[in-house]
Structure 1
């Protein structure tokens, strides 16, 4: 119990404590599909019968509790020594060769449980793995929904500084990108923070009708 409290405290310190609460929400795919059909590429807005509207940074801050000010969330697309980076920040690596992403299933299998004897460094490693899983599984999901890019891991090296990044801006930008991608009718799936899209619709559209 003490280790769980310490893990929650560190996640909150890193800026992900409030956002993590949305993980238990179920997605309503009928609602999401209806919104996707009303997205317009040129204006980045939803065309609704009552008016045009869109998701803003204020919505991200209010509904997810993510920071929207600060440094841009950027990284390099190819990390020269990925295994070394993983050993340094996670304490283990899925491979000794070249790789650009981590499988969410690997993160869950290796970091789901925190030993009662874990020291401070091990707690930090588990929290980093949890945040990586949260980024890839909820906040900035790829269309395949099974991996998270390694580029985010260096940003978690010092968890005390992690909240200095504008994670909310990155989440919104990726959701916009995915909505724009789905304007191509041949697209069969969508990534991005769909729980944000759903919660925004449930909260905002009621007041626009």
Structure 2
């Protein structure tokens, strides 16, 4: 059943309360933000949010695989997507360190803002006021640019114009607002201080892989209720990714080709029709979307951050954002491999035990570099390179159909009419029966040949036994071949049984 559209209360802060501070900063402060690696974000134009698109994508998210599930297979937001679309750095040190139950002392020292004892939150209004962003009312007739300029003038009057302790505090306040209310949004109207210890040494902030942490946060946000229409206030990432890879949906307008990062190319279409209208048509279009499109011939010209990021592309790796540690299952991504897919092993939660978001670290002082030591070692080794050993395109869709069956279609029409899916499953089942019978015949032939060789050896043939009465090379080879054939037969019998059960399930859905 389709989810009813629901408005999202979090599309509020976004650009209008972060971008003005960047624009109001004197040149030396903007240079520092560039060095950290956040400058590209602020070169993007203000993009209109598309809540219908975000909600339609969210309804396709598989939390176990950390991937979108479409009729033709998986689509996985990757480190390459983050780097190409946003310009955020996906290389460097993992975003990991200590978390504290109370940030009172460090907030007083770095921000000079009040934080309650036994709290990790600063009121958003307090941070805004400290940057000159509160109390600028939008006058009747003001357009968005005029209102933005009012914010810039108000903020500029509160910011230090020369380097020094006050300028450092301004930058700390700006970064905590940028991270807490744009890249890593949490519920409510407060700014979390969890990243503040990583910001203490401003010269080291740029050494962290903030883009990888942003991707982990996206995964975590997508895993929440699909009734929400936004994953974080930095909505351009998922929107632009859909414009690139699902262009036939027609949601984006390519207005500024050639600019980098890629998010600067695009804007969302204007349409006054209701969220419910758009959501229903998007879900139907996604149900019938034929294939995955790749990047539109994008290179790395004008994007120097890609040079250092490239070694992290095409690899499955653990992503870190303090107490949030999630796997990037890139081996499920069709676009990363030569064929559709090599042999597919779908992730299982008990196989990928993760630290994850938990109460640990929220009530106790926790060193996540120690808690997630294996995952951090994995990041520092850059994970595991993805290679395809497939010789045909058949393995992936077969495994995919076996995993998801009729569940891949979300719309009411496809939930009732799954005849095409049943036909596909029956074809896979027929192929599996043929494969199993062929291996069964091969196993029987190998057994007969092994018995023949053994009987010759028992009759005293000199070539069939080596010194000391050990089996001959031929006998050993045949015995090994029999074992492999028996193992293959068991595997095919299990696959056949799974396909029978999946086909029966799809037929039940049709009924």
Q: Could you state the TM-score of these two structures normalised by the residue count of structure 2?
A: 0.37
- Pick from 207, 212, 226: which aligns with 1:169? 212
Q: Which residue of 2 aligns with 1:86?
A: 107
Alpha-carbon displacement from aligned partner over 1:153-209 (angstroms, at most 9, x marks no partner): 1111122211111111111111101112225xxx65754343322222122222835
Trace 1:174-189 onto structure 2 (pairs within 5 A): 174-182=217-225, 188=228
Per the TM alignment, residue 9 of structure 1 is displaced from its structure 2 partner at its CA by 0.9
SS in 1 for 2:39: coil
Gaps of 5+ in 2: 1-22, 133-154, 249-291, 294-511
- Pair 174,189 (structure 1): closer, same or farther in 2 beyond 3 Å: same
Judged with a 3 Å threshold, the aligned counterparts in structure 2 of structure 1 residues 120 and 69 are, in CA distance, closer, same or farther, namely same
Conserved in 2, the CA contact under 8 Å of 1:128 and 1:156? yes
The answer to whether structure 1 residue 141 and structure 2 residue 163 are counterparts is no
Question: What's 1:33 paired with?
Answer: 55
C-alpha deviations, 1:48-81, integer Å up to 9, x for none?
345421110111111221111221112433255x
Identify the match of residue 8 of structure 1 among 30, 38, 45.
30
In terms of mean alpha carbon deviation, does 150-159 or 106-115 score higher?
106-115
Aligned counterparts of 1:2 and 1:135: Cα–Cα separation in 2: 18
* 1:32 Cα offset (Å): 0.4
Do the aligned partners of residues 158 and 177 (structure 1) sit closer, same or farther apart at CA in structure 2, a change above 3 Å counting?
A: same
Higher relative contact order (CA 8 A, sep 6+): 1
Of 78, 82, 88, which aligns to 1:66?
Answer: 88
Cα distance in 1 for residues equivalent to 2:241 and 2:229: 20
2:55–2:229 CA contact under 8 A, matched in 1? no
Question: Alignment length, in residue pairs?
Answer: 203
CA distance in 2, matches of 1:204, 1:36: 16
Map 1:75-154 onto structure 2 (within 5 A): 75-80=97-102, 82-90=103-111, 92-95=112-115, 97-112=117-132, 113=155, 114-115=158-159, 117-144=161-188, 146-154=189-197
Instruction: Tell me by how many angstroms 1:99 deviates.
Output: 1.8
> Compared with structure 1, are the counterparts of its residues 138 and 74 closer, same or farther at alpha carbon in structure 2 (3 Å cutoff)?
same
Deviation, 1:105, is 2.2
**Is this contact kept in 2: 1:138–1:195, CA < 8 A?**
no
Q: 3-state DSSP class of the match of 2:195? A: helix
Structure 1 Cα separation of the partners of residues 79 and 24 of structure 2:
35
- Find the partner of 1:197 among 214, 235, 238: 238
Contact kept, 8 Å, 1:104 with 1:136, in 2: the verdict is: no
Tell me the equivalent position of 1:157. 200
Relative to structure 1, is the Cα distance of residues 41 and 94 closer, same or farther in structure 2, using a 3 angstrom cutoff? same
Could you say what the CA RMSD is over the residues aligned between the two structures, in angstroms?
Answer: 2.6
Q: CA deviation at 1:24?
A: 2.8
Task: Give the number of the structure whose alpha-carbon radius of gyration is greater.
Answer: 2
Rounded to whole Å, the distance in 2 between the matches of 1:45 and 1:12 is 31
Partner-residue secondary structure (3-state), 2:223: helix
TM-score w.r.t. length of structure 1 = 0.83
CA offsets, 1:73-132, max 9 Å, x none?
12433255x332123222x12246332022322211112324455542212211221111
Distance in 1 between the 2:123 and 2:220 partners? 22
